[in-house]
Structure 1
Amino acid sequence: MIRSGKIVVPTDFTEQSSEALRRACVLAKKFDAEVHLVHVIDPSLYFETDMISIMPLDEISEAQHEGAKKRLDEQAATVDCPVITHLEDAVTEAARTISIFAGKMDADLIVIGRHGRQGMLEHMLLGSTVERVVRYAPCSVLVAMPHGLVGAAEAE
């Protein structure tokens, strides 16, 4: 299961991604692996009034990266295992960027947190980032379910 000793954990700084990080640390200790916490930054700004996308100004981009780096470091400090943090600028949608990153890292496993339920129409049109990561991933993917969904999924 863990050959190269690398586990990638994508984060959007939610409790679900924190849970995925905790689970990745348990596996990392068991298999003597590295944990790589990655956050994908979307470099575009969207203005609804004009419906255009422009590249952000240098100051905005720098502030966005600094804020994300601070949050990555804070999240990494919440677990009791060493965590290597990464910021990735989106080259495409987040799921593909995560998968490309995992491939470049030669990762053995991606541990990703699943969010709560979304509406049926939204799911049909967009799917979820987790589903797309599973589809595009170059390695195995462990989906960490939120605590509230585990019992709900069994009830269905």
Structure 2
Amino acid sequence: MYQRILVPVDDSDTSRQALLEATRFCHNQHGKIRLAHVINLAQFTWGGAEFVDVGELQGNLRQSGRTVLEKAAALMQENGVEAETTLIEIWGGTISSAIIEDATNWPADIVVMGSHGWTGLDHLLLGSVAEGVVRHAPVPVLIIPIKRKK
């Protein structure tokens, strides 16, 4: 059984579904879950930043990230699982690379994450963090697809 489970989280339904799936790995066992949220602080340093307080925007981004992690940890606790949290700050680069680096350094046995399931133009324009993680992760990756309403 997996003992160290990394769960990248954001504030989406797919992330919530991945959290719930991760609880199935640890419920009544001694595994550890680490919830990770990645923020890109460099996004406010390019074009137009002279008109706003970059420090304030970055502070708001950090607070938003902490809130995402607190909600995710609370959901895990409601399901009987204690989880540690980490806010990963990057300055450019990709979110998937940051997740892979954390999976390596922590070290995780598996990564459990949601996928929005975008295809076509959406996928081309928005990319896929899950796809980037799957392609380069040093450990198995379990992708939880979004449950579409019928």
TM-score by length of 1: 0.79
Task: Give the fraction of aligned pairs with identical amino acids, expressed as a percent.
Answer: 29
| 1:18 aligned residue | 16
Is 1:29–2:27 an aligned residue pair? Answer: yes
| 1:73 aligned residue | 70
RMSD across aligned positions (CA):
2.6
**Contact 2:44-2:57 within 8 A present in 1 as well:** no
Deviation per residue, 1:18-50 (Å, 9 max, x gap): 110111111022652111111000102358xxx
Q: C-alpha displacement at 1:86, in angstroms?
A: 0.8
**Contact 2:37-2:68 within 8 A present in 1 as well:** no
Secondary structure at 1:13 match in 2? coil
For residues 123 and 69 of structure 2, the distance between their equivalents in structure 1, rounded to whole angstroms, comes to 28
| 2:58 aligned residue | 61
| 1:102 aligned residue | 103
AA aligned to 1:23 is: E
Moved more, 60-69 or 94-103: 60-69
For residues 140 and 88 of structure 2, the distance between their equivalents in structure 1, rounded to whole angstroms, comes to 20
For residues 114 and 33 of structure 2, the distance between their equivalents in structure 1, rounded to whole angstroms, comes to 15
TM-score by length of 2: 0.82
Deviation per residue, 1:25-77 (Å, 9 max, x gap): 11022652111111000102358xxx7386x7333222221222122112211
Is 1:113–2:139 an aligned residue pair? Answer: no
Gaps of 5+ in 2: none
Moved more, 21-30 or 121-130: 121-130
| 1:52 aligned residue | 47
Gaps of 5+ in 1: 152-156
